[in-house]
Amino acid sequence: MFHGKSNTLTLKYLVLFYLFIVQITIFAHSNPKSIFNMMTDTVYSASPERYRSGMKYRRCGQSGILLPEISLGLWHNFGSVDTFDNSQKMAHYAFDNGIIHFDLANNYGPVYGSAEETFGQIMKKSFAPYRDELFISTKAGHEMWQGPYGEWGSRKYLMSSLDQSLKRMNLDYVDIFYSHRFDPNTPLEETLQALVDIVRQGKALYVGISKYPYEAARFAYHYLKQRDVRCLLYQGRYNIFNREPEQEQILQQAKENGSGFIAFSPLAQGLLTNRYLQGIPDDSRIARGGFLKKEQLTNDVLQKIEQLNKMALERGQTLAEMALAWVLKDDLVTSVIIGASSVQQMKDNLKGLENCQFTAEELRLINRIIL
């Protein structure tokens, strides 16, 4: 009797095992990439040398936050049109070399939101054990979805956008949330109070502003300080060609208000490199029809690039390395955000940190070339 019962159980298990194998086979045929990834994925382990790699950190205004001199921006090369494997390799390389700040926004991609989704996958697969070592930002202000609440600075848009961003990035909070641009039509008090409440709700540890004109920034610094939620960072475009933060006193204003300044577009979207010295490469941003337009590469601009490149070579640097070093030449800038399309490009950019010192004569020469 017991023997027969045992045979019945054995047959039952064999049938279940057979059905399991059939299901796995069907799944493998319909999802070959998923099976391959399951078999080849390795668990990421951060380099134990990441804080001894040579990266330097600067204090962010009058705060306890230290940021790496170079931060990684995910504006391009982390979207749904890009290869996840390459994006993940760049993120790993960045962290392994002391880059702990990852800069995002709701509409980075393309498509909108896809850079945050990519980072969310990397967060889940690789960075979850290191969350407390990372400083992650996102922003809202530019167009994200259709309708009157899909852009600018209303309380409704900012809060809805951040909730969506947190879901995409698999995060409970971001380290800093920015108002991505000044909204001339929404009362600034509404925008800023939304930032205050976002911190008090625990969805962001700090707040910042980006691309605000001087007077709007002055109001923002005062409003936030009065509510014990200081503006940690001002983010603005700053490079050898674009001197607006200097000319409009934005850099000095941030320092006087105890805020840091973080620069984006340090290479002027590729103009401050040697890529265009011999013409327009087929794989360049200009050729691909990106934000950088062919009309911007005038003969006058090209002559300036050639002179700067000559000066960089005399310093023992590439033009890109010198351009990054120039942004970090003094303590008015906390960090510079780079974009990269490959690990090799990141390696090249990091070389710019090896010499951020300029003589007074070198700075005068750069100014004579540009201004």
The tens digit of pLDDT for each residue in 146-204 reads 999 999 999 999 999 999 999 999 999 999 999 999 999 999 999 999 999 999 999 99
Q: Is residue 188 part of a domain?
A: yes
Residue 114 pLDDT class (50, 70, 90 cuts): very high
Mean pLDDT of the chain: 91
Residue 316: CA atoms inside 13 Å, Cβ hemisphere, count? 7
Distance CA(340)–CA(134), nearest Å, equals 19
**Has residue 306 got a pLDDT over 80?**
yes
Q: What is the domain-level CATH number for residue 162?
A: 3.20.20.100
Report residue 12's pLDDT band, with 50, 70 and 90 as the boundaries: low
Domain that holds residue 164: 52-370
Does the residue 4 lie in any domain? Answer: no
Contact 139, 158 (CB under 8 A): no
Instruction: Look at residue 36 in the predicted model and tell me its pLDDT.
Output: 46
Q: Is the pLDDT of residue 86 over 90?
A: yes
Where does the pLDDT of residue 57 fall: very low under 50, low under 70, confident under 90, or very high at 90 and above?
Answer: very high
Please report which confidence band the pLDDT of residue 42 belongs to, taking 50, 70 and 90 as the band edges.
confident
Nearest one of 365, 241, 245, 244 to 310, comparing CA atoms: 365
Position 35 in a domain: no
Q: Which long-range CB contacts under 8 A does 143-152 form with residues at least 24 apart?
A: 143/107, 143/112, 144/106, 144/107, 144/112, 144/113, 145/112, 152/181, 152/183, 152/185, 152/186
pLDDT at 292 over 80: no
Predicted TM-score of the model (pTM): 0.87
pLDDT at 313: 97
Q: How confident is the model at residue 39 (pLDDT cuts 50, 70, 90)?
A: very low
Which pLDDT belongs to residue 31? 59
Domain-located, residue 286: yes
Question: What single-letter DSSP state applies at residue 130?
Answer: G
The arithmetic mean of pLDDT across residues 339-351, rounded, is 95
Place of tokens 């926004």: 105
Select from 126, 191, 182 the least CA-distant residue to 157. 191
Residue 295's pLDDT band (cuts 50, 70, 90)? confident
Task: Answer whether residue 13 shows pLDDT above 90.
Answer: no
pLDDT digits (tens, 9 = 90+) for 318-330: 999 999 999 999 9
In a domain, 184, yes or no: yes
Domain count, the chain: 1
Give the Cβ contact number of residue 353 at 10 Å. 18
Q: In Å, how far are 13, 25, 31, 208, 341 from 22, measured between CA atoms?
A: 14, 5, 14, 54, 41
User: Is 321 contained in some domain?
Assistant: yes
Q: Is residue 337 part of a domain?
A: yes
Q: Tell me the chain's radius of gyration from C-alpha atoms.
A: 25
Average pLDDT of span 111-122: 98
Does residue 264 lie in a domain region? Answer: yes
Kindly state the DSSP code that residue 77 receives in the 8-state scheme.
Answer: S
158 vs 288: which has the higher pLDDT: 158
pLDDT surpasses 50 at 18? yes
